[in-house]
Structure 1
């Protein structure tokens, strides 16, 4: 984590001297690509580059095509407008398929006796449910499941724009904080297709969202934050002070 006033060090390695004209010296910087975690999301993030870069649009549009088909929502729309609610309708063949996907999403939990149980992530959805509404009082970008998709797609899309422009160095170092690890692996190691990437973090975000109780307006007594202690940074779910 970098805070205002922190000292940053840049290391430059001399590669060679070109004896042409004014004897231009060529140097090479040691580059580290760092991917941020949750809580760095904001409305409109990545959209300026979306409008300028074909490589960036390809990533966003690939993610949206998958999300619309499987879950019934557009991430580009949510990032641009940050709506407080989004209703997914389960009518027709397409809607029924989305409802089946939602009903099939489960998580494991342990009861007081130590027994592991598998429970549905959307317990209030069954074969007769006509629709489902996601909501957050501050906009859906602050709901974990949408925040996490927005961040990994923004980072992956920006990295592909850099790659297209020739700015990505070979054998570079990489780092990701929490959610940023997924972005780093998908962008540099290319271990996840964009469809698999958004699936994983959507599931991860819903699991995080379900980890604590929420009221009717989707508010809880907890929030995600980074805590700095000496040189160590840890991510914790911390009670929100009144």
Structure 2
């Protein structure tokens, strides 16, 4: 399931940049101990993006401290950063929320730094891009749909040959907050949660065949089939792996999944 972004509704004193009015220092609205892990990304062209994952507490604290106190200023005009290198960060917090930052440097004196979760754009002379080189984690290729800020706009484009947008699809007719749901991603993968009390989450690549969406569970070699009905999906139990009957909210045959914005 996609992780919800952190919503900051605190007083100005707890916000990162106090509105970016004049030169400020970066101060996060969470502590290093609140961070579960960090995903870093680097690219000039999104299709060639790489990622590093920081898991060790000591390394998380070091990255956190590297940001803290760095000076930033309001972005007074739109910067031309075409061809620049982007380094972005997703702080995955213990409460299940994310905090995202995108830094782009085009070769000038300053780079732009966007605090996506705070919806603030600023400039900085600090070399935020060097944090990538300082991280000893091994880089790995990553699909551009995973990049913070969705630089290619992939989340607004339907899955190929369908009207289905990437996003969160919830089964109708179940108790609120306990519904089965399906998360579709722009890289044409998906995760199914078929019961609110089960930790088993089939996930893998999807295929579109004869008007149906098929989720192929990579780990267990199972498949789950949904008829595509316009912008909705209808679960087909007779064409899917058996669903354990755990309690009344377990996914049932014919359940209609509708797109819903995550809260």
Q: TM-score, with normalisation over the residues of structure 1?
A: 0.19
Structure number having the greater helix percentage:
1
Q: TM-score, with normalisation over the residues of structure 2?
A: 0.18
Q: Which has the higher contact order (CA 8 A, sep 6+)?
A: 1
Structure number having the greater strand percentage:
2
